[in-house]
Chain A
């Protein structure tokens, strides 16, 4: 029986639960609205994950977690061993760059990052191909799905809440003019600083996320925190999007037009007073 459907009707948590309970082996592909993802399973355990065009190679994974510099990752890509993660892993361990545990931990973290991202997908055609294995050159790490489902569901609820708080990622941010809001008195982590460095009414939240390769959940979480702290406020992006038809245009008014507008407001005031 093919395992095919849409996440709209059968969400990621239910899908993973089914794979776990049925101890399935195979590859699940999901075609989301903007990108695709695939996860491989062996006897109900998650062993491999990839999303979009992200490079699933060991060099990329180690660079992402900071075990390799950009330059080292680039240099490794040019070596023949880079084509095979197992060969590359051995080379790195033998050269003393990383330990085996660090490699396995990094891959596990990468797989989990991808899996948790998929919990925020509410739409996407999925297809489970039984017995299809991940590419042979990749290192697989078996991960029990029970904890993944619990943590993923928690993140899904958080994502839903954050989406309600911050429904529109096409808005921009600007620093508040409040005199008591000063960045120097605030402790921000690295991810928050990355976002802060892009805050400008010209950049939409979506663009900031893209520039920092952050997913919707992460960018919403950070922006929500900055909004709650009163450091930033939402604004319509400058120049980026079309002006709303009929929206008040901020072009300078002539003195006559100004007087006319004032007269209109004064009329409204008189009328409301007389109600």
Chain B
């Protein structure tokens, strides 16, 4: 059996766990803890080690989705998680501009860890305060050739579209 891995990363509360849950065929293996920091108390618990989801392709091939911990004090996990990945998704909460700078920093760090293809998912596009993807592109200073995709992590079609765009990028790089 061959296994391949994709990583879903992004700042705290950007929707990584939800993204994986929406497409995983198993209940996502979560390693969550109650939030300890006052500043980060916008949700009850957060991922401190990693999320783990699975999509079986056939009897010979399985895709694993790993979600990174969102809090920077667990960033020692990033390098470990990035090992051997096929590509990665950077999740950004489009409604929280205060996290954009961190998202950019995470993106740059992951790119440095592994020069694999990646896409940026502008998550929570259904939120009334969400920034439009084209504004997010400017805010994150993304090159025009970087794929920035609107996303609603609770919507399966939306998550599928992000994963497919990442796979198209991976394919394109193989053909280049």
Q: Which residues of A contact B (CB under 8 A)?
A: 164-168, 171-172, 178, 227, 230, 233-236, 244-248, 250, 258, 261-262, 264-269, 271-273, 275
Contact = CB atoms under 8 A, between A and B. Distances in A.
Given A227-B108, A264-B2, A264-B61, A272 B83 contact: no
A247 B114 CA distance: 7
Given A265-B86, A269-B164, 6 more contacts: A165-B105, A244-B113, A265-B167, A268-B61, A272-B163, A272-B164
A178 B72 contact: no
B153 to A, nearest CB: 14
Chain B's interface size range is 35 or more
A167 B23 contact: no
Interface in B1-59: 2, 4, 23, 55-58
27 contacts: A164-B102, A164-B105, A165-B101, A167-B109, A172-B112, A233-B112, A244-B83, A244-B84, A244-B113, A247-B82, A247-B83, A247-B84, A248-B116, A258-B174, A262-B171, A262-B174, A264-B61, A265-B167, A265-B174, A267-B58, A268-B4, A268-B61, A271-B57, A271-B58, A271-B63, A272-B160, A273-B160
B98 to A, nearest CB: 13
B109 A261 contact: no
Given A167-B72, A247-B114, A275-B156, A268 B108 contact: no
A234 B23 CA distance: 31
Contact of B83 (A172, A246, A250): A246
A235 B109 CA distance: 8
B175 interface: yes
Interface of B: 2, 4, 23, 55-58, 61, 63, 72, 75, 79, 82-86, 101-102, 105, 108-109, 111-116, 141, 143, 156, 160, 163-164, 167-168, 170-171, 174-175
B162 to A, nearest CB: 10
For the complex of A and B, the 10 pairs showing the least CB-CB separation, nearest first, are: A234-B112, A246-B84, A271-B57, A246-B83, A171-B112, A234-B108, A269-B167, A244-B83, A265-B171, A165-B105
Contacts of A269: 164, 167-168, 171
A168 B113 CA distance: 11
Contact of A230 (B141, B160, B167): B141
Nearest to A243: B83
A250 B115 CA distance: 9
Nearest to A167: B75
Contacts of B86: 265
A245 B174 contact: no
A264 B83 contact: no
A171 B112 CA distance: 7
A267 B83 CA distance: 22
Contacts of B112: 168, 171-172, 233-236
Contacts of B55: 271-272, 275
Contacts of B167: 265, 268-269, 272
A165 B108 CA distance: 10
A170 to B, nearest CB: 10
Given A164-B72, A248-B84, A265-B174, A275 B160 contact: yes
Contacts of A233: 108, 111-112
Contacts of A164: 72, 102, 105
Contacts of B109: 167-168, 171, 234
A235 B112 CA distance: 4
Nearest to B143: A178
A242 to B, nearest CB: 12
